[in-house]
Amino acid sequence: MKISWRDYDPGTGWDELLGAPGRPRPHARELAKHLSALSAQQLGRRQDAAERAILEMGITFTVYSEGQNIDRAWPFDIIPRIIPASEWRRVEAGLKQRMTALNLFIDDLYNEQRIVADGRFPRALLETSGNFRKECRGVKPAHGAWAHICGSDLVRDADGTLYVLEDNLRVPSGVSYMLENRIVTKQVFPELFSRNRILPVDDYPSLLFDTLASLSPRPLDYPEVVVLTPGIYNSAYFEHAYLAQAMGAELVEGGDLVVADDDCVYMRTIAGLERVDVIYRRVDDTFLDPDEFRPDSMLGVRGLMRAWRAGKVAIANAPGAGVADDKLVYAYVPDIIRYYLDEDAILPNVPTYACIEEKDRRHVLENLANLVVKPVNESGGYGMLIGPAASHADIDKFRRLVSLEPRNYIAQPVLSLSTAPTLVNGRLEPRHLDLRPFSLQGERNEVTAGGLTRVALVEGSLVVNSSQGGGSKDTWVVESEES
């Protein structure tokens, strides 16, 4: 029995593939036509083939559960998410604008602090920031870039508006899964790549290497770039190893590096010490250097901050970049863009209530059952309240938390996240999703064509994080007559 789009109900929200039952969106007609020529059994076999490929390629992620680290195969849905290139050009411009402004903001906070002196960003927020590193004051990194890799989470509401949900500026992950999703989809649907003009993503490792190389303190054609990982037990270790191999860079742990008396960083090799120019670190700030942060850290390199401040090594993302990764700072990003660039934000923020503000806090406490409440420094979907799905006990708990520590919470309305067809038990059903494109900034500013689409595999769920049971899809940015 063939797939019939008339049997697929996109509901009352925004579906990425269909505008109404049986009516694919113009840029998705070729994909919808091809899928409708397949039977449920044929789609099922292709899904099985994708899952076998994922197992054979060793694409995994780690779930921390009850004190155990559990490696699981990457959950993947074969039906791609599709975006017209005409829309993507605006998204790309908005992400570049956002990345530029945030880097100007971070640089200002660690140097002149003009935005604070001019009263455009509250001093109290800076003084209470858990991610501001006094050890970074006065540093001027190459090209004025502190956040070199950013994963911005985008969501689409029921009216079709794309919002930036948050900016991940510390050690954003997920790009390896974006790349692997494309590889697997090409294996499962090779015919579709000859019939559709799908913008490529496989140049990301070379773009990342070029970005990192542009930060090198030495003018070399091929500087020594390394990827610093916490080790095999980190949940994103697959990605660390993947990117190091794809870039032709060394994958190192803290014990592989040493800072010498000349303030340079060296890598231990069987041929002796070899100087390192750029460190793409996947280790949190406080573990980077036991001399300046956590003295018990075994993950970092003693003296690394000294070498970085001396300009003898570049670190991406730079220490301290997370000061702009605070969800409370997020609420001020449109103002930050206007302040530094004298422009309105191309991509809007989700309306956000800052609980530190008395008026906002009062509204949040009165409407907890209708809001999403998030701790400002958590990630991965942990520690938040989804009001409409919460119990009375959970709502009472968050009322106490917000009242006791208002600086630690923001709240946002519950968006009706867009959906896309997802293969579930042989049927195509709508599931909610988001999108994480990746932006790079060094000598140049680049944005991936699409990104990592994460999908909530549980019916009706709005939680897309893999650590919370979500999966992913390939993301196609398609050039067509309509785009």
Which pLDDT tens digit goes with each residue over 32-73? Answer: 999 999 988 999 999 999 988 888 887 766 655 445 555 677
- The reply to whether 224 falls in a domain is yes
Asked if residue 177 lies in contact with residue 281, where contact means CB atoms within 8 angstroms, the answer is no
Query: How much is the pLDDT for 117?
Result: 97
Q: How far, in Å, are 154, 178, 289, 379, 433 from residue 450 at the CA level?
A: 11, 9, 35, 22, 14
Q: Is the domain of 223 the same as that of 308?
A: yes
Q: How far, in Å, are 15, 21, 457 from residue 12 at the CA level?
A: 9, 11, 19
Find the domain containing 279 and state its range. Answer: 218-312
Q: Is the domain of 308 the same as that of 372?
A: no
Query: How much is the pLDDT for 466?
Result: 67
Strands of the 353-354 sheet, one edge to the other: 353-354, 409-413, 371-375, 385-386
DSSP secondary structure letter of residue 74: P
- The reply to whether 202 falls in a domain is no
CATH of the domain at 243: 3.40.50.11290
Which candidate, 294, 274, 335, places its Cα nearest to that of 118? 335
- The reply to whether 272 falls in a domain is yes
Report the greatest alpha carbon distance in the chain.
Answer: 72
Q: Is the domain of 233 the same as that of 299?
A: yes
Three-class DSSP category at 160: coil
- The reply to whether 198 falls in a domain is no
**DSSP strand pairing (371-375 vs 278-281):** unpaired
Residue with tokens 């196609």: 476
Residue by residue, pLDDT tens for the chain (483 residues) are 677 888 898 888 999 999 988 899 999 999 999 999 998 899 999 999 998 888 888 776 665 544 555 567 778 999 999 999 999 999 999 999 999 999 999 999 999 999 999 999 999 999 999 899 999 999 999 999 999 999 999 999 999 999 999 999 988 999 999 999 999 999 999 999 988 899 999 999 999 999 999 999 998 889 999 999 999 988 889 999 999 999 999 999 999 999 999 999 999 999 999 999 999 999 999 999 999 999 999 999 999 999 999 999 999 999 999 999 888 999 999 999 999 999 999 999 999 999 998 999 999 999 999 999 999 876 656 788 999 989 999 999 999 999 999 999 999 998 889 999 999 888 899 999 999 999 999 999 999 999 999 999 888 887 787 666 688 999 999 997 654
Asked if residue 444 lies in contact with residue 105, where contact means CB atoms within 8 angstroms, the answer is no
Query: How much is the pLDDT for 58?
Result: 78
CA atoms within 13 A on the CB side of 294: 11
CATH of the domain at 394: 3.30.1490.270
- The reply to whether 302 falls in a domain is yes
Number of domains in the chain: 2
Instruction: Dump pLDDT digits (tens) for 127-143.
Output: 999 899 999 999 999 99
Give the count of beta carbons closer than 10 Å to the beta carbon of residue 127.
9
pTM: 0.93
Rounded distance between C-alpha atoms, residue 50 and residue 7, angstroms: 25
- The reply to whether 269 falls in a domain is yes
